[in-house]
Structure 1
Amino acid sequence: MDFTECYGDTVSSVAVAARSGRRKRVRRLIKRGFSVDCPDNRGWNALHEAAAAGSEECVQEIVSAADAGSSRSGAEYVNSLTHEGESACYLAAQRGHLAVLRLLLKTHANINQLTNDLSCPLYAAVDGGHKEVVELLVSEGAEVDRTHTASCWTCLHQSVYKGHSEIVRILVDVCNLEALDDHKISPLFVAAQYGQQECLEILVNAGANVNTQAADLATPLLIASQEGHQACVDFLLDHGADPNRACSHEWPQLAIHAAAEFGHIGVLRRLIAATDRVCDRGDGMVSPLYLAVHSHQSKSVETLLREGYSPDAQVCSDILGVQSPLSLALSRTSSEPCSESVGLLVAAGATLSEEDWMYGLATDKPDLLQLILEHRRIPRQEALTRDCSVPKHRGKSVLKLQELRELLCVALNQVHFAACWLPLLLKAGLEPSLLLQPHMLEQADSEVLNYLLEFVNWSNLSPPLKRILDRRRAGKTWEPRPHLDSIPRLSHMCRLQVRSVLGPDLLMRTGVVQRLPVPSPLHVFLQFRDIPEATYTHSPPSSPLSNRIQRHSSTHQHRHVL
Structure 2
Amino acid sequence: MDFKECYRDTVSSVAAAARSGCKERARELIRKGFSIDSRDNRGWHALHEAAAAGSKDCVREILSAAGSGSSDECRAYVNSLTHEGESAFHVAAQRGHLAVIRLLLKAHANINQSTNDLSSPLYAAVDGGHKEVVRLLVSKGAEVNGLHTASCWTCLHQAVYKRHSEIVRILVRVCHLEAPDDHKITPLFVAAQYGQQECLEILANAGANVNAQAADLATPLMIASQEGHEGCVEVLLDRGADPNLSCSSDWRQLPIHAAAEFGHDGILKRLVAVTDRVCDRGEGMVSPLYSAVRNHCKSFELLLREGYSPDAQDCTDLLGVRSPLSLALSLAPNKSQRESLRLLLAAGASLNEDDWLYALAVDKTELLQLILEHRWIASPENWSRSVAVSNQSTRTVLKLQELREMVCVALSQIRFAPCWLPLLLDAGLEPSLLLQPNMLEEAESGVLNYLLGFVNWSTLSDPLKHILEERLEEKTWTPHGNFESIPCLSHLCRLQVRRALGSDVLMRTAVAQQLPVPPLLHDFLQFRDVPKPACTHSSRPPAPPLSHRILEYYRTHKHRHVL
Q: What TM bracket, shorter-length normalisation?
A: over 0.9
**1:502 deviation in Å?**
1.6
- CA shift digits 1:70-109 (9 cap, x unpaired): 7854333222222222111111110011111122222222
How far is 1:429 from its partner?
A: 0.8
1:177 shift after superposition: 1.6
3-state SS of paired residue (2:428) = coil
Measured after TM superposition, the shift of residue 52 of structure 1 is 0.5
Is this contact kept in 2: 1:96–1:128, CA < 8 A? Answer: yes
The whole-number CA distance in structure 2 between the counterparts of 1:6 and 1:379 is: 95
Q: CA deviation at 1:7?
A: 5.5
Q: Which 5+ residue runs of structure 1 have no aligned equivalent?
A: none
Could you tell me how far apart the structure 2 residues matched to 1:71 and 1:192 are? 49
Moved more, 276-285 or 38-47: 38-47
Among the aligned pairs, what percent are the same residue? 71
Question: Counterpart in 2 of 1:397?
Answer: 396
Name the CA shift for 1:8/1:70 in 2 (closer, same or farther; >3 Å): farther
Q: Work out whether residues 14 and 30 of structure 1, in 8 Å CA contact, stay in contact via their aligned partners in 2.
A: yes
| Residue 487 (structure 2) aligns with | 488
In structure 2, what is the Cα distance between the partners aligned to 1:42 and 1:7? 14
3-state SS of the aligned residue for 1:318? helix
**Residues 5/12 of structure 1: CA separation in 2 closer, same or farther (3 Å cut):** closer
Q: Indicate if the aligned counterparts of 1:390 and 1:400 stay in contact, CA closer than 8 A.
A: no
2:83 maps to: 83
How far apart, in 1, do the equivalents of 2:545 and 2:465 lie?
A: 36
Q: Deviations over 1:367-418 (max 9, x none)?
A: 221111111111221123x3x5555652212111111111111111222221
For 1:212 and 1:148, locate their aligned partners in 2 and report how far apart those are by CA, in whole Å: 21
- 2:46 & 2:470 partners in 1: Cα distance? 106
Provide, for residues 431-465 of structure 1, a one-character-per-residue CA deviation record: whole Å limited to 9, x for no partner: 11211222222222222122112212223223332
Query: C-alpha offsets along residues 438-496 of structure 1, whole Å, 9 cap, x if unaligned?
Result: 22222222221221122122232233323333333333332322223333333322222
Q: Which residue is equivalent to 2:98? A: 98
What residue ranges of structure 2 are gaps of 5+ in the alignment?
Answer: none
Q: How does 1:338-349 map to 2 (within 5 A)?
A: 339-349=338-348
Q: What is the Cα deviation at residue 199 of structure 1?
A: 1.0
1:182 alignment counterpart: 182
What residue number does 1:448 align with?
447
In 1, the alpha carbon distance for the partners of 2:387 and 2:208 equals 54
Higher mean C-alpha displacement, 408-417 vs 301-310 = 301-310
CA distance in 1, matches of 2:157, 2:71: 41
The whole-number CA distance in structure 1 between the counterparts of 2:535 and 2:237 is: 57
- 1:342 CA displacement: 3.0
**Separation (CA, whole Å) in 1 of partners of 2:464 and 2:337:** 38
In structure 1, C-alpha distance between the alignment counterparts of 2:297 and 2:262, rounded to whole Å: 11
- Residue 292 of structure 1 aligns with which residue? 292
Report how far residue 420 of structure 1 moved. 1.0
Letter in 1 for 2:458: S
Matched, 1:317 2:343: no
AA in 2 matched with 1:557: K
Task: Look up the match of 1:35.
Answer: 35
Calculate the aligned-residue CA RMSD, in Å.
2.4
Which deviates more, 341-350 or 311-320? 341-350
C-alpha change, 1:65 and 1:338, in structure 2 (3 Å) is closer
Q: 1:360 touches 1:368 (CA, 8 Å); kept in 2? A: yes
TM-score, with structure 1 as normaliser? 0.93
1:267 match: 267
Q: Distance in 2 between matches of 1:9 and 1:536?
A: 77
Residues 378-397 of structure 1 aligned to structure 2 (within 5 Å): 378-384=377-383, 386=384, 390=387, 394-397=393-396
Stretch moving more, 136-145 or 51-60:
136-145
Q: Distance in 2 between matches of 1:450 and 1:9?
A: 91
In structure 2, the CA distance between the partners of 1:338 and 1:487, relative to structure 1 (3 Å rule), is farther
In structure 2, relative to structure 1, the CA distance for the partners of 1:155 and 1:426 (3 Å cut) is: same
- How far apart are residue 227 of structure 1 and its match? 1.1
CA contact under 8 A between 1:363 and 1:540: conserved in structure 2?
no
Q: Distance in 2 between matches of 1:338 and 1:223?
A: 25
Report if aligned partners of 1:4, 1:11 keep a CA contact under 8 Å in 2: no
Q: 1:159 to 1:335 in 2, by over 3 A?
A: closer
Moved more, 328-337 or 273-282: 328-337
- The answer to whether the 8 Å contact 1:280/1:309 transfers is yes
Q: Output the CA distance in 1 between the equivalents of 2:354 and 2:85.
A: 65
Q: Any idea what SS the aligned residue of 1:298 has?
A: coil
In 2, Cα distance between equivalents of 1:190 and 1:106: 36
Equivalent residue pairs, number: 557
> How far apart are residue 235 of structure 1 and its match?
1.9
The AA in structure 2 aligned to 1:381 is P
Deviates more, 1:152-161 or 1:485-494: 485-494
State the Cα deviation string for residues 484-543 of structure 1 (Å, max 9, x = none). 333333332222222212211111112222233333332222221222211134335442
Equivalent residue of 1:468, what SS?
helix
Distance, in Å, in 2 between the alignment partners of 1:183 and 1:272 is: 29
Aligned-partner Cα distance in 2 for 1:4–1:323: 79
Residue matched to 2:546: 545
Separation in structure 2 between the aligned mates of residue 59 and residue 26 of structure 1, nearest angstrom:
10
Partner of 1:67: 67
* 2:560 corresponding residue in structure 1: 559
